[in-house]
């Protein structure tokens, strides 16, 4: 029963994929010499954004963030996509688990300017 | 060296906690050790394979392959654990109860514990592949081999130690209580895995989030802390769960408990009458 429900949810959400169609802003974070760049990235709060993590090192890294609830491996010389948000305005820390001493970064969600 | 030890510790800890609970839960079932060792062996091999195919998995499904892969492994593990719980209640309890009278010959080798082996293998697969990737990348970056070996062994010993401590802590409880304790621990473990799996699907954009943050306890008990991390592994603690994670967690708890009630133990139910 439980599994049926989950598969149904899975199936339905594949059909009504919330990702499809909506244009999302893209941001690139690169990894080089086990460091993230930019180390501080500003993204708009309150909307979904696409992060492209590009690993220019030959070795693998794991993008991990407790603040964002994310953990994803990036193989050497390759890239991954991470969707985040909509986030509340604030600072979200992340790090590279395999090289935590040097691989540190933050994402700052900024409230977009209102027009009033 | 210590940074290596810490990472290995974290990954091994997850494996050893899960294996510790499973071993305590299936204690007293004859012939299980070959399934345990088989699961461990298969898990190590699988971990190496997953690490090797890491990039291919990552690029699959429009870059969301890792999320789907992790979610599938966690779902499968949760289903098997749920099944084991019901199975244990149906047969295991009778077995341990009649253990002294009937002797172990009756059950020896009769009931293959595939699920136990597979769950152990799956636990190893996920965390183990990260260990492989990490040590490999440390090797390639020119980290001295002796440092890696020392750090890895230190972390592995410490991580295994916590799991062993948990195991002995649990079996110190009397057999009768142990059974319900481990039953509930397994149910919470499965629920935690399902909510983690849903978390991966939601990160991949496959399921709606429903509420971005039901609560935030990251200031009281962050998941990065040892206790927070252990609770995360064992009972699926999350310092910032989303709505759908919470709902799937509760749904799993309810449905496994219902299965347990209705299919759990006809023998015991009739014995009570």
Q: pLDDT (tens digit, 9 = 90+) per residue, B59-86? A: 888 889 999 999 999 999 999 999 888 8
pLDDT of residue A18 exceeding 70, the answer is no
- Give the pLDDT of residue A4: 67
- Give the pLDDT of residue B96: 56
Partner residue opposite A2 with nearest CB, options B59, B203, B255? B255
Mean per-residue pLDDT, A14-32: 74
- Give SS3 for A17: coil
- Give SS3 for A50: strand
- Give the pLDDT of residue B209: 84
pLDDT of residue B9 exceeding 90, the answer is yes
pLDDT of residue B161 exceeding 90, the answer is yes
Q: Do A73 and B240 touch (CB under 8 A)?
A: no
Partner residue opposite A73 with nearest CB, options B62, B133, B204? B133
Q: Do A13 and B251 touch (CB under 8 A)?
A: no
How far A57 CA lies from chain B's nearest CA (Å)?
A: 10
Q: Do B136 and A101 touch (CB under 8 A)?
A: no
Eight-state DSSP code of residue A87: P
Chain A to chain B, count of Cβ pairs less than 8 Å apart?
Answer: 96
Give the best residue of A32, A60, A82 to mutate against chain B (max B CB count within 10 A). A60
Which of 39-58 (B) contact A at CB < 8 A?
Answer: 54-55, 58
pTM of the model: 0.85
Q: Which of the pair, B248 or B211, is modelled with greater confidence?
A: B248
Digit-coded pLDDT (tens) for A57-79: 999 999 999 889 899 999 999 99
pLDDT of residue A24 exceeding 90, the answer is no
Q: Using a CB-CB distance cutoff of 8 angstroms, which residues of chain A are in contact with residue B205?
A: 17-19, 83
Extract the tokens encoding B97: 């109860």
Partner residue opposite B201 with nearest CB, options A10, A34, A66? A10
Phi, psi of B4 (to 5 degrees): -65, -45
Extract the tokens encoding A53: 């993590």
pLDDT of residue B49 exceeding 50, the answer is yes
Which of 90-109 (A) contact B at CB < 8 A?
Answer: 97-98, 100-101
How far B138 CA lies from chain A's nearest CA (Å)?
A: 8
Sheet containing A35-37: which strands, arranged edge to edge?
Answer: A35-37, A25-32, A49-55, A78-84
- Give the pLDDT of residue B79: 95
Q: Which of the pair, B1 or A10, is modelled with greater confidence?
A: B1
Percent of chain A scoring above 90 in pLDDT: 57
- Give the pLDDT of residue B266: 58
- Give SS3 for A110: strand
Digit-coded pLDDT (tens) for B87-141: 877 776 555 555 444 444 444 444 667 889 999 999 999 999 999 999 988 888 8
Digit-coded pLDDT (tens) for B216-263: 998 999 988 999 999 999 999 999 999 999 999 999 999 999 998 888
How far B115 CA lies from chain A's nearest CA (Å)?
A: 17
CA distance B175 to B184: 14
Which of 53-82 (B) contact A at CB < 8 A?
Answer: 54-55, 58-59, 62-64, 66-67, 75, 79, 82
CA distance A105 to A39: 5
- Give the pLDDT of residue B107: 47
HSE (side-chain half, CA atoms, 13 Å) at B159: 27
Per the prediction, chain A carries an average pLDDT of 85
- Give the pLDDT of residue B179: 81
**B27 touches B106 (CB < 8 A):** no
Q: Do B201 and A3 touch (CB under 8 A)?
A: no
How far A79 CA lies from chain B's nearest CA (Å)?
A: 9
Q: Which of the pair, B271 or B220, is modelled with greater confidence?
A: B220
Mean per-residue pLDDT, B177-182: 85
Does the beta carbon of B135 lie under 8 angstroms from any beta carbon of chain A? Answer: no
Q: For the residues of B66-103, what is the DSSP string, one character each?
A: HHHHHHHHHHHHHHHHHHHHHHIIIIIHHHHHTHHHH-
pLDDT of residue A39 exceeding 50, the answer is yes
- Give the pLDDT of residue A114: 60
């Amino acid at each position: 029963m439980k599994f049926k429900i989950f598969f149904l949810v899975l199936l339905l959400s594949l059909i009504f994929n919330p990702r499809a169609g909506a244009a999302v802003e893209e941001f690139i974070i690169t990894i080089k010499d086990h460091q993230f760049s930019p180390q501080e990235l500003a993204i708009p709060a309150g909307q979904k954004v696409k992060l492209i993590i590009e690993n220019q090192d030959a070795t693998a890294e794991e993008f991990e963030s407790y603040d964002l609830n994310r953990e994803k491996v990036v193989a050497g010389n390759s890239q991954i996509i991470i969707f985040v948000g909509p986030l509340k305005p604030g600072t979200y820390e992340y790090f590279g688990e395999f090289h935590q001493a040097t691989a540190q970064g933050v994402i700052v969600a900024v409230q977009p300017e209102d027009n009033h | 060296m210590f940074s290596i030890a810490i990472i290995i510790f974290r990954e091994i800890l997850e494996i050893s906690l899960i294996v510790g609970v499973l071993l305590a839960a299936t204690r007293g079932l004859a012939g299980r050790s070959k399934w345990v060792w088989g699961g461990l062996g298969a898990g190590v091999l699988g971990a190496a394979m997953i690490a090797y195919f890491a990039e291919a998995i990552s690029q699959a499904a429009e870059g969301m392959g890792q999320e789907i892969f992790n979610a599938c492994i966690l779902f499968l593990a949760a289903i098997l654990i749920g099944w084991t719980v019901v199975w244990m209640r149906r047969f295991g309890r009778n077995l341990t109860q009649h253990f002294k009278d009937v002797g172990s010959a009756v059950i020896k080798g009769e009931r293959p514990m595939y699920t136990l082996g597979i769950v152990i293998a799956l636990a190893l697969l996920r965390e183990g592949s990260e260990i492989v990737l990490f040590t490999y990348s440390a090797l390639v970056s020119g980290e001295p081999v002796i440092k890696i070996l020392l750090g890895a062994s230190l972390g592995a010993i410490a991580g295994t130690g916590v799991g062993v401590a948990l195991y002995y802590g649990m079996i110190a409880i009397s057999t009768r209580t142990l059974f319900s304790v481990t039953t509930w621990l397994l149910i919470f473990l499965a629920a935690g895995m399902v909510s983690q799996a849903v978390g991966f699907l939601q990160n991949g954009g496959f399921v709606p989030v429903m509420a971005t943050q039901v609560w935030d306890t990251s200031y009281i008990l962050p998941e990065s802390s040892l206790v927070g991390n252990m609770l995360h592994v064992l009972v699926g603690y999350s310092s910032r769960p989303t709505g759908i994670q919470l709902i799937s967690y509760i749904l799993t708890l309810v449905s496994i408990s219902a299965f347990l009630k209705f299919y759990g133990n006809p023998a015991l139910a009739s014995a009570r009458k």
